[in-house]
Amino acid sequence: MLGSRRWQSHAGPEARLPARTRRERFIGYVCGIAAPFICTLAAWPLRSILEPASILMSYMLGVFLVASRYGRGASLTASLLSPPVFAYYFAPPIFSFAISDLENIVGLAIMIVVASLTSNLLDRARSQAEIARQRENRANALYRLSRALSDAQSREAIAALAAERIRDEFGAEAVIVPADENRRLPVAIAEVGPGFDAEAARQAFAANSTRHSQGAAYYPLAGSQTVFGVLLVRAEPSSRLAHPEALALFETFRNLVGQALERLYLAERAREAGLQVQAEALRNALLSAISHDLRTPLTRISGAAGALIDNADRLSAAERQEFYRAVFDEAQRMAELTSKILDMARLSSGEITLHCEWNALEEIVGSALTRLDKALRERPVRTQIPDRLPLLWVDAVLFEQVLANLIENAIKYTPPGSPIDIGAELAADGLQLTVTDYGAGIPDGMQQKIFDKFYRLSGETEHGGVGLGLALCRTIIAAHGGRIRATNVAGKGAAFIIDLPLREPPALDWGETVESGG
Amino acid sequence: MNDAAPLILLIEDDSQTRRFLKTSLANRGWRIAEADCAKSGLALLKSEQPDCVILDLGLPDMDGIAVARRLRQLSDLPVLVLSARSQEQNKIMALDAGADDYLTKPFGSGELHARLQALLRRVARSIAASETFETGQLKIDLARRKVFIAGNEVRITPIEFRLLGILVRHAGLVVTHRQLLGEVWGAEHIHDQHYLRIYMGQLRHKLEVNPARPRYLLTEVGVGYRLAADGS
């Protein structure tokens, strides 16, 4: 009995045996009454060869079977009925309730004690199994809910998934109205479901306490600090919510949903704060990049121009030429930097929209190479573009910019005179375009970082880059639905690989037959 | 100053740019008339009778494209527009409105000189009709409709030849996609860029040693094509 009390105290109010139905109880008692007579019938033919003590054992078996199936009440009936039946049919004098034998009286007494003990034990085992089953159900229900909640990425998803779980687990009609990002209930709350009372929902939300109205209950869904929504429930008397043992589970459900809504709210706040920090960091990086990269050429220009003005007579023709050249070169460099910075600013502010048209890759590559003709004068450029490549649906101006940036990069970071390879091939899911150089490659772990805005490999300032070229490439390629990555190729140097999805180009429906072979 | 030297009308609002252009063009033997806004530029067009116009697209008093259109209405003079980078759309609109070529700021005086020469050559060529065109190893006989690379004839389809003919007429100058599509396939096909890509690709494979690094048929990305001419 002590064990039983300890078990009750920590298992909580829901840990009770479910009540047997009336029908089950009736069948139990019928069996309890029938069992002694069945035992009698079974043992009757054996009465001449068996001692009454052995026959008594068959009654024990009957009591035991009834106890294991129908519980205490039925087994008690059987154990109380067994002694008189035994006394009447088997204990001498038979066909009388009197018992002459002391042995049989002792046997009967032991049987009654054993039967009542075993039925007690069996009953307890049965109820413990039942408790374990209930606990497992409860744990499963909570597991399903928390899994559904952890998958949900928005308030609406949390509301829909949690309401569905409540309908499934408790068989009650449920609607969840989450508060918006300012922690206010939406205005259109009346439309959530027919027969729900918007005013009661508002009251439950404002007061953080349960309201009942028009046969429905309105529960606030609270996180650790404040309310994040309202749960509207209408339970029929037949639903599992009518069972008192389900109420604790239901409360846990509400807490879980409230916490999930709170978690999402806090995550949103954190993301906003993070975005602000990121924007701030970007602005600072831009300022420092501009102040350094634009000031350097400006200093050189004004220095050279100042020297020309102040010392016009004393400078030799060669010196003057050198200063003029410096002014010109630095101005060119500044022009290039400014246009990159402006491009990046316009691309990241979303100001640029793609002007996609059908374009030939060969043409865009050719245009980029023509543009960089001067810088490529000492470089062997090897192009490998298949003749039968389909047209690409791209913004040619931006795409040429990507190629030019990659080629310029290769020129900057590889020894003078080393070759540059440009290759294209059809892959399973689109076009793969690769620009490969023959330099030192990209240091390990930097293959991702080099695409970040204002990121420069150490010592890069001397090359005069602003750390925007590759970031521009990534932004432009992403706008085309493609991907760009960098890798090192053994025996060569760095390779920049662009994967671009392909679209079906329109057919030529006018003109002459396009010649094969080209 | 020599009266036979071509006169260029320069419409540009920035006085420093005007000054630098004037100096470098005068050194190469051109004569200059200056205007700092569209209004005075259009007035000078009548009074000075220039041979060529340089037009900045960002003028204070009038939209550059509208000025280009007005210039075309008033005369057949070659017009070169100057535009800041990242104004591709403006550039194309100015070309379609009647301008003959463009330069992107900043540019060198050598580049400007070459473009002006190509512009004036176009005018001279349209006076002297049928002839042959030669640049590098490429020779195009317009009268006999034959094309040669290093003396060997190259087989060219009629459409390819029409494309080539338009480019030859504007040798050294840019020809917009719209203009090529309209002249070869007709006005209803001016948006069918893919026609142009495929035929230009074929032409390049026939005429260029390395089609991915062309010497003759140059692409002006987003704008059009340019046939390289000697001196450009």
| Closest Cα in chain A, distance from residue B188 (Å) | 11
pLDDT score at A371: 86
Provide φ and ψ at A20, rounded to 5°: -75, 150
CB pair distance less than 8 Å for A364 and B221: yes
- Model confidence pLDDT, tens digit, residues A106-127: 888 888 888 788 878 887 888 8
pLDDT score at A419: 94
Look at residue A366 and tell me whether its pLDDT is greater than 90: yes
How sure is the predictor about A472, in pLDDT bands with cuts at 50, 70 and 90? confident
Asked if A307 and A377 sit in the same domain, the reply is no
Lowest mean per-residue pLDDT among A128-132, A163-167, A245-249, B211-215: A245-249
pLDDT score at A286: 63
The residue among B90, B190, B213, B226 with the most chain A CBs within 10 A of its CB, best to mutate, is B213
DSSP state of B63: B
Look at residue A59 and tell me whether its pLDDT is greater than 70: yes
How sure is the predictor about A512, in pLDDT bands with cuts at 50, 70 and 90? low
Mean pLDDT of A235-239: 77
Q: Which residues in chain B have Cβ-Cβ distances shorter than 8 Å to A364?
A: 219, 221
CB pair distance less than 8 Å for A508 and B198: yes
CB pair distance less than 8 Å for B201 and A518: yes
Q: Which residues in chain A have Cβ-Cβ distances shorter than 8 Å to B90?
A: none
Distance separating alpha carbons of residues A415 and A105, to the nearest angstrom = 113
- Model confidence pLDDT, tens digit, residues A199-221: 888 888 888 888 888 788 889 99
CA dihedral A324, A328, A333, A334 (to 10 degrees): 100
A507 domain-assigned: no
CB pair distance less than 8 Å for B213 and A369: yes
Distance separating alpha carbons of residues A400 and A421, to the nearest angstrom = 16
Facing B212 at nearest CB: one of A355, A383, A396: A383
Distance separating alpha carbons of residues A95 and A85, to the nearest angstrom = 9
For a pLDDT cut of 70, what percent of chain A falls above it?
86
- Print the domain residue range for A310: 290-348
| Closest Cα in chain A, distance from residue B210 (Å) | 9
A511 domain-assigned: no
pLDDT score at B34: 93
DSSP string, B72-99: HHH----EEEEEETT-HHHHHHHHHTT-
Distance separating alpha carbons of residues A426 and A432, to the nearest angstrom = 6
What average pLDDT does chain A have?
Answer: 81
The residue whose two tokens read 């695409």 is A451
Asked if A240 and A211 sit in the same domain, the reply is yes
CATH number, position A445: 3.30.565.10
- Model confidence pLDDT, tens digit, residues A416-468: 899 999 999 998 889 999 999 998 888 887 877 788 766 666 554 445 555 67
Q: Would you call A325 an interface residue with chain B, using a CB distance cutoff of 8 Å? A: no
Q: Would you call B187 an interface residue with chain A, using a CB distance cutoff of 8 Å? A: no
Distance separating alpha carbons of residues A191 and A170, to the nearest angstrom = 23
3 state DSSP class of B175:
strand
Q: Would you call A355 an interface residue with chain B, using a CB distance cutoff of 8 Å? A: yes
How sure is the predictor about A9, in pLDDT bands with cuts at 50, 70 and 90? very low
Provide φ and ψ at A457, rounded to 5°: -65, 150
Q: Would you call B200 an interface residue with chain A, using a CB distance cutoff of 8 Å? A: yes
Q: Would you call A514 an interface residue with chain B, using a CB distance cutoff of 8 Å? A: yes
CA A55 to chain centre: 67
Look at residue A162 and tell me whether its pLDDT is greater than 60: yes
pLDDT score at B85: 60
Look at residue A1 and tell me whether its pLDDT is greater than 60: no
- Model confidence pLDDT, tens digit, residues B47-65: 988 999 999 988 888 888 9
Mean pLDDT of A178-204: 76
Asked if A362 and A496 sit in the same domain, the reply is yes
Look at residue B31 and tell me whether its pLDDT is greater than 70: yes
Distance separating alpha carbons of residues B110 and B27, to the nearest angstrom = 11
CB-based burial, A334-347: b 16+ in 10 Å, e otherwise:
bbbbebbbebbeeb
How sure is the predictor about A2, in pLDDT bands with cuts at 50, 70 and 90? very low
Q: Is B25 within 8 Å of B103 (Cβ atoms)?
A: no
pLDDT score at B232: 42
A194 domain-assigned: yes
B135, HSE (Cβ side, Cα atoms, 13 Å): 16
Residue B222 vs residues A359, A400, B159, B176, B219: alpha-carbon distances, Å: 10, 9, 22, 9, 9
- For A229: left if phi > 0, alpha if psi spans -120 to 50, otherwise beta; the answer is left
Mean pLDDT of A463-492: 83
A308 domain-assigned: yes
Q: Which residues in chain B have Cβ-Cβ distances shorter than 8 Å to A515?
A: 157, 202
pLDDT score at A394: 93
Q: Would you call B194 an interface residue with chain A, using a CB distance cutoff of 8 Å? A: yes
Q: Which residues in chain A have Cβ-Cβ distances shorter than 8 Å to B215?
A: none
Q: Which residues in chain A have Cβ-Cβ distances shorter than 8 Å to B86?
A: 339, 342-343, 346
Q: Which residues in chain A have Cβ-Cβ distances shorter than 8 Å to B193?
A: 357-359
Distance separating alpha carbons of residues A131 and A472, to the nearest angstrom = 64
CB pair distance less than 8 Å for B212 and A362: yes
pLDDT score at B127: 52
B48: nearest Cα among B75, B80, B20, B66: B75
Q: Would you call A332 an interface residue with chain B, using a CB distance cutoff of 8 Å? A: yes
Facing B201 at nearest CB: one of A339, A362, A422: A362
Distance separating alpha carbons of residues A365 and B77, to the nearest angstrom = 34
Mean pLDDT of B165-194: 90
Asked if A232 and A332 sit in the same domain, the reply is no
Asked if A157 and A237 sit in the same domain, the reply is yes
Q: Which of A133-147, A164-178, A361-375, A456-470 tops mean pLDDT?
A: A361-375
Asked if A426 and A396 sit in the same domain, the reply is yes
A156 domain-assigned: yes
Distance separating alpha carbons of residues B69 and B38, to the nearest angstrom = 12
Distance separating alpha carbons of residues A241 and A339, to the nearest angstrom = 68
- Minimal-distance CA residue of chain A relative to B157: A512
CATH number, position A303: 1.10.287.130
Facing B194 at nearest CB: one of A343, A358, A367: A358
Distance separating alpha carbons of residues B200 and B157, to the nearest angstrom = 12
Q: Which residues in chain A have Cβ-Cβ distances shorter than 8 Å to B214?
A: 366, 370
A515 domain-assigned: no
pLDDT score at A75: 83
A-B CB pairs within 8 A amount to 96
Amino acid at B75: S
- pLDDT: is A297 or B139 the higher one? B139
Distance separating alpha carbons of residues A435 and A422, to the nearest angstrom = 5
CB pair distance less than 8 Å for A518 and B202: yes
Q: Would you call A282 an interface residue with chain B, using a CB distance cutoff of 8 Å? A: no
Q: Is A196 within 8 Å of A188 (Cβ atoms)?
A: no
| Closest Cα in chain B, distance from residue A336 (Å) | 9
How sure is the predictor about A152, in pLDDT bands with cuts at 50, 70 and 90? confident
Asked if A399 and A470 sit in the same domain, the reply is yes
Mean pLDDT of A167-187: 83
Asked if A250 and A342 sit in the same domain, the reply is no
Domains, chain B, with CATH or none: 7-126 (3.40.50.2300), 129-227 (1.10.10.10)
Asked if A170 and A254 sit in the same domain, the reply is yes
The residue among A332, A363, A512, A516 with the most chain B CBs within 10 A of its CB, best to mutate, is A363
pLDDT score at A347: 72
Q: ipTM, 2 decimals?
A: 0.83
Q: For A358-434, where are the alpha helices, taking DSSP H only?
A: 361-371, 396-413
CB pair distance less than 8 Å for A367 and B221: yes
Q: Which residues in chain B have Cβ-Cβ distances shorter than 8 Å to A331?
A: 106
pLDDT score at A465: 57
Facing B159 at nearest CB: one of A363, A370, A511: A511
> Per the structure, how many domains does chain A have?
4
Look at residue A190 and tell me whether its pLDDT is greater than 70: no
Facing B193 at nearest CB: one of A358, A370, A387: A358
pLDDT score at A437: 92
A189 domain-assigned: yes
Q: Which residues in chain B have Cβ-Cβ distances shorter than 8 Å to A508?
A: 194-195, 198
A298 domain-assigned: yes
Q: Would you call B193 an interface residue with chain A, using a CB distance cutoff of 8 Å? A: yes
How sure is the predictor about B219, in pLDDT bands with cuts at 50, 70 and 90? very high
The residue whose two tokens read 């017009």 is B79
B54: nearest Cα among B107, B126, B4, B131: B107
Look at residue A102 and tell me whether its pLDDT is greater than 50: yes
- Model confidence pLDDT, tens digit, residues B107-165: 878 888 888 988 888 777 665 555 788 889 999 998 888 999 999 999 999 999 999 99
Asked if A58 and A166 sit in the same domain, the reply is no
| Closest Cα in chain A, distance from residue B102 (Å) | 15
- Model confidence pLDDT, tens digit, residues B68-114: 999 999 888 999 999 876 567 788 888 989 899 998 887 878 888 88
Q: Would you call A382 an interface residue with chain B, using a CB distance cutoff of 8 Å? A: no
Asked if A131 and A166 sit in the same domain, the reply is no
pLDDT score at B200: 94
Asked if A496 and A361 sit in the same domain, the reply is yes
Q: Would strands B79-84 and B101-105 be described as parallel, antiparallel, or unpaired? A: parallel
Q: Would you call B204 an interface residue with chain A, using a CB distance cutoff of 8 Å? A: yes
- pLDDT: is A132 or A281 the higher one? A132
Provide φ and ψ at A408, rounded to 5°: -60, -45
Q: Would you call B190 an interface residue with chain A, using a CB distance cutoff of 8 Å? A: no
**Which token pair is A316?**
């030799």
pLDDT score at A272: 81
| Closest Cα in chain A, distance from residue B206 (Å) | 7
The residue among A339, A370, A394 with the most chain B CBs within 10 A of its CB, best to mutate, is A370
pLDDT score at A15: 40
CATH number, position A263: 3.30.450.40
Q: Would you call B213 an interface residue with chain A, using a CB distance cutoff of 8 Å? A: yes
Look at residue A517 and tell me whether its pLDDT is greater than 50: no
Facing A383 at nearest CB: one of B197, B210, B219: B210
- pLDDT: is B120 or A182 the higher one? B120
Q: Would you call B144 an interface residue with chain A, using a CB distance cutoff of 8 Å? A: no
Look at residue A513 and tell me whether its pLDDT is greater than 60: no
